[in-house]
Amino acid sequence: MSGNLPIEVAIAILPHEGKFLMQLRDNIPTILYPGLWGLFGGHIEPDETPELAVEREILEEIGYQITEPKKFGCYSDDRVIRHIFYAPLTVEIDKLVLGEGWDLGLLSPVQIEAGFAYSAIAGEERPLGPVHQQIMMDFIEWWG
């Protein structure tokens, strides 16, 4: 078996009042997209479906229980297969508990298109991860 198989992840788009919840990833050089804004989610365990993985990851990362995530699409490259889901964020952002990442925020479509958003914790504007920005632009266009 080859060690070069792409990893599979499940990612959630969480719309809330015209904005979208995003995570400022930890600024650790050894992780993918360090210090960049991205979507919440993570690795799919061997015994999990993508749907179960996205529910587990969101609960672990922000203490939020999503129900019935809907599939938006799949984005693949040589390294990662990204299963993208969406579900409404039905609580205010101050009810979330950030368990993973540097910061979180509700980003507007304008910020997403510009590719930058301010983080109070970082004390500066930080860029969006290119793949996550593309996923969000596609979603916003589709969402209408």
> What percentage of residues in the chain have a pLDDT greater than 70?
98
| pLDDT 10s digits, 35-90 | 999 999 999 999 999 999 999 999 999 999 998 999 999 999 999 999 999 999 99
> What percentage of residues in the chain have a pLDDT greater than 90?
92
Radius of gyration, CA atoms only, the chain: 14
> Does the pLDDT at position 117 exceed 50?
yes
Closest to 134 (Cα-Cα) out of 88, 72, 55: 72
Closest to 13 (Cα-Cα) out of 111, 107, 120, 110: 107
- Residues 44 and 82: their CA atoms lie apart, in Å, by 10
The whole-number pLDDT of residue 144 equals: 84
Instruction: List domains and CATH numbers for the chain.
Output: 7-143 (3.90.79.10)
User: In the block, which residue shows the tokens 């889901």?
Assistant: 85
The whole-number pLDDT of residue 3 equals: 61
40: left (phi > 0), else alpha (psi -120 to 50), else beta? beta
The whole-number pLDDT of residue 1 equals: 45
The whole-number pLDDT of residue 32 equals: 83
DSSP 84-120: EEE----S-GGG----SSSEEEEE-HHHHHHTEEEET
Q: What angle do CA 3, 6, 8 make, to 5 degrees?
A: 125
